[in-house]
Amino acid sequence: MNMLEVNGLRVSYGGIQAVRGINFHVSEGEMVALIGANGAGKSSTLRALARLLEPAGGNVRYRGKDLLQVPPHGLVTEGIALVPEGRGVFPRMTTLENLYMGAYARSDRAAVARDLEHVLGLFPRLKERAQQVAGTLSGGEQQMLAIGRALMSKPRLLLLDEPSMGLAPIMVQKIFEVIRAVASEGMTILLVEQNAKLALEVSQRGYVMESGEITVTDESSRLLADPKVRAAYLGE
């Protein structure tokens, strides 16, 4: 079953079209990678799905529902969580407060407490930093926090925007271990990444974006082997 179905999505900044009518879908339980060069429109696509930008056109169906009819602050209740590019932690709140903000729209306190334990189990580092103000965490810790915060909303669909950006290789590895672990628990994930190799290694399917359009789509393993993709995005 398709959890997310995007048809003819367009995003414009002023007069410039960043996303030019793209179609893609994400099935339940699947991890899908959206790769492409800087400025290809990957982040714009995610931001439009999370409604940080209003799409200029197209339609988005999510679990059979017209997603563009849901008010932006209602998306999280529908089960959609975005880990934004640049992490976007609340810098003057503590790690714990940030995590609780992730559960802001939830009222099931007992389940929130269980999910907090689960998230702190995934990221033991966050437990050590629980009372620290988020602005003072390292970049990698902030990325952990941003992912943990998104998980606190108990999403059905997790949107990850450039989780490896600006992180040391060792930290990237750690973050992707957790992404893999979350996926293996059955989470549906749409991953936007500039690090195409990494993204294709963890995902089942991939879409390649170029100048606002999807140019290639296939299973990730086949994209990894595709000479054109290798030449353009894997630096070979």
Partner 1 sequence: MDTLLQQLINGLTLGAVYALVALGYTMVYGIIGLINFAHGEVVMIGTMVAFTVIVSLAGSGMPPLLILGIGLLVAVVACMVLGWGLERVAYRPLRHAPRLTPLITAIGMSIVLQNVAMIIWGRNYITFPPMIDKQIYEFGGASFTNVQVAIVVLAALVMIGLTYLVQRTRMGMAMRATAQNQHVALLMGVDINRVIAMAFIIGSALGALAGCMVGSYYEIAHYQMGFMLGLKAFTAAVLGGIGNMAGAMAGGLLLGIIEALGAGYIGDLTGNFLGSHYQDIFAFMVLIIVLMFRPSGLFGERTGDRA
Q: What is the contact surface with partner 1 in residues (CB under 8 A)?
A: 50-52, 71-77, 81-82, 84, 88-93, 97, 100-102, 104-105, 149, 153
Closer of 101 and 202 to partner 1 (Cβ): 101
DSSP-assigned beta bridge partners for residue 188 = 157
Closer of 37 and 101 to partner 1 (Cβ): 101
CB of 108 to partner 1, least distance (A): 14
CB of 161 to partner 1, least distance (A): 11
Closer of 58 and 88 to partner 1 (Cβ): 88
Residue spans of beta strands (DSSP E) within 14-62: 16-27, 31-36, 57-62
Reduce the DSSP state of residue 219 to 3 states and report it: strand
Tokens of 225: 């082997």
Q: What is the C-alpha separation between 1 and 30, in angstroms, rounded?
A: 10
CB of 103 to partner 1, least distance (A): 9
Longest distance between any two alpha carbons in the chain, whole Å: 51
CB of 69 to partner 1, least distance (A): 16
Closer of 72 and 124 to partner 1 (Cβ): 72
How crowded is residue 124: how many other Cβ atoms within 10 Å of its Cβ? 10
DSSP string covering 148-214: HHHHTT--SEEEEE-TTTT--HHHHHHHHHHHHHHHHTT-EEEEEES-HHHHHHH-SEEEEEETTEE
DSSP-assigned beta bridge partners for residue 219 = 205
CB of 110 to partner 1, least distance (A): 17
Closer of 97 and 210 to partner 1 (Cβ): 97
Reduce the DSSP state of residue 49 to 3 states and report it: helix
Closer of 84 and 163 to partner 1 (Cβ): 84
CB of 112 to partner 1, least distance (A): 12
